[in-house]
Chain A
C-alpha cells in the first residue's frame, strides 16, 4: 500500500537551533508506526508540522497527497493528540469535544459515544481543569477520534496513564491499525514501542537514524555478547578471533566475545583444553540497543567531570 504521510527533506529551525534536520520518511497505513527518539529529538516538532501547526523552514510534508491544511474535512483526514492539555480549563470535557465537533458538523451523539469509549462518560460534565494527566490523554484521544480519521498522530499518548490505561491504549492502537488506518505514535521508550509498533522511525537531533521494521530492529539489537573468564585468556583469544568474531579483553583474564555463541566458545575451549571459570551470555536489551543507537545524538548529555 502506498504511504499516507510523506515527509520530504523537512527542516525546522528556531533561530540558531535546528530542531528537525533534513528529515524524509513515509508512514504506511494498516500498521502502527513508532516514532522513537530521546526527548528533544524533534518528534513533537515533526508531528506539529504534519498537521500544519508549525511551518517547516524548508521541505514539505503531505497527508494523503496534500498538505494537511488543504483538506476540506481535516478531522476526517487526521486525528491528532499532540498534548494532553490542548484544552481551556474552564470548559467541561463534553463541551470541549462539542466545540471541536461543531467546526465540521459532527453530531453530539458521536461526542457522547467517544466519551464512553475513552471511559470519560462519568466525568463528561466536569471541568477539564481538574483532570489528571491520564484523563487529559483520554480526552485528547476522544478529540483525535472525533472525525473517524484515516490517520492518527499521537504524541506520547501513554504519558500519565496508569498500567490499565497503557494496556488499553496498546489494544486501541493495534485495532485502529488493523482497521486499515495509518497510526503514527511517538515515544521516547523503546520498550513501549517494541510492544505497540510494527515499524520504527528512530530520530535523534532531528535526523533520521533508522527506518526499520520492529522485528528487524530487535534482531539487530540482540546480537550476543559473551563474557568469558579464563586463566588462559591470551590463548583463547587467538583461537576465537576471526573475520566475524570480535574479542576485547578488559583484563588479562576477562574476555568479551561478540559474534559467537557461548556454546561455540565452550566447545572450542574444551577441544583445546582451556579452563573456563565463567561463561555468561549477555543479551543486550532493546533499551540498550536504542541507547547505543541514539547515544551520539542525545541533546543533553551529562558531561563527565574529571578530578585531577
Chain B
C-alpha cells in the first residue's frame, strides 16, 4: 500500500475503444460467470461430491452386504430385496445434496450482498437465473447419469454371484437407471426455483426438504381413497415414478410422472423469473 501513497497519481488502466465496445453482456458470458461462481466456492464441491459419492457408496454397500448375507437371509427378507431399486436407493441422499447446492447457488447470493454486484453487472437479470439453472442441471446430468450407470453395473456384479442380478437388457432397466440421473437433474431445477423465490438459504432448504420429503409423508397419512388420488401427483412421487418398475393405480406411469415433476420445476422457475424481474435486489 505504501507505493500507492508515494505515488498519489492513480492511473486507472483505460481500455481502447475496441476493447470497450467488446465488453457486452451475452448469455454465453453470463453462463461462464455462473460456472466460475460454482467452481470457486468450496461448498459446491462438497455438496456435489456428496451427491456423486452417495449413489455408488450406498448402492454398492447394499449390494455387497446382501450378496454376502444371502445364504443366511430369511425367505421374507429375500422377497423384500429389490435387486434393481435397492442398489440405486442412494439417490435419496443425493437429491438432498443436489437440492442444497441449488438453493445455495442462488439464495447464497442474497445472504451477503453478492446479488447486487451480480445484478449490477447483468441488469437484465433473467440471464443470471437461466445461466445458473443451465450450469447446475448440465452438471447434475453429466455427473449423475454416469454415476447411476456405474453404480448399477458394480452392484449387479456383486449380486450376480448369488444369481439375483438384473441385466441391462432387461426391459425398463435402462429407463430406471438413467432415470436416477434425470430425476436428480429436475430436482436441481426445482430447488433452484425454490431458492430464487425464497431468497434465503435456510428457508430455501427448508422449503425444498418440505416439498420433496415431508409432503409425501404427511400425505401418506390421508385416508386411502384420498391418498391414492392425491399422493401420486406430489412432486417427488411423480418424479420417482420414472424409477419404478410397475405402475398401478397409486402411481403415475413413468414418463407421465416425470413430465409432471418437470412441470413443477418449470412452474417454480417461471415464478422465480417473474419475481426476479419485479423485486428490488
Segment at the A interface, from B35-43, B190-198, B208-216, B248-256: B35-43
The answer, yes or no, to whether A106 is at the interface (CB within 8 Å) is yes
CB-based contact A88/B108 at 8 Å: yes
CB-based contact B10/A74 at 8 Å: no
B10 to chain A, nearest CB (A): 5
**In the complex, A148→B14 CA distance in Å?**
6
Q: A80-B120, A87-B112 are in contact. Are A119 and B1 (CB under 8 A)?
A: yes
**In the complex, A148→B16 CA distance in Å?**
10
In the complex, residue of chain A having the shortest beta-carbon distance to the beta carbon of B108: A88
The answer, yes or no, to whether B171 is at the interface (CB within 8 Å) is no
CB-based contact B29/A88 at 8 Å: no
B241-281 interface bits toward A, Cβ cutoff 8 Å, 1 = contact, 0 = none = 00000000000000000000000000000000000001011
Query: Which residues from chain A contact B15 at a C-beta distance below 8 Å?
Result: 76, 110, 147-148
Contact partner of B117 (CB less than 8 A), chosen from A78, A113, A143, is A143
Contact partner of B22 (CB less than 8 A), chosen from A78, A83, A105, is A105
Q: A76-B23, A117-B12, A175-B9 are in contact. Are A168 and B4 (CB under 8 A)?
A: yes
The answer, yes or no, to whether B25 is at the interface (CB within 8 Å) is yes
A113 to chain B, nearest CB (A): 5
B77 to chain A, nearest CB (A): 46
In the complex, residue of chain A having the shortest beta-carbon distance to the beta carbon of B22: A105
**In the complex, A85→B113 CA distance in Å?**
6
Contact partner of A148 (CB less than 8 A), chosen from B12, B40, B119, is B12
The answer, yes or no, to whether B74 is at the interface (CB within 8 Å) is no
**In the complex, A113→B15 CA distance in Å?**
12
The answer, yes or no, to whether A89 is at the interface (CB within 8 Å) is yes
Q: List 21 A-B contacts (CB under 8 A).
A: A48-B280, A53-B119, A69-B123, A73-B24, A74-B121, A86-B116, A89-B112, A90-B41, A91-B37, A102-B33, A102-B36, A103-B29, A105-B22, A105-B26, A148-B19, A148-B20, A167-B5, A168-B4, A171-B9, A172-B12, A179-B12
Q: Identify the B interface with A (CB < 8 A).
A: 1, 4-5, 8-15, 19-26, 29-30, 32-33, 36-37, 40-43, 108-109, 112-114, 116-125, 278, 280-281
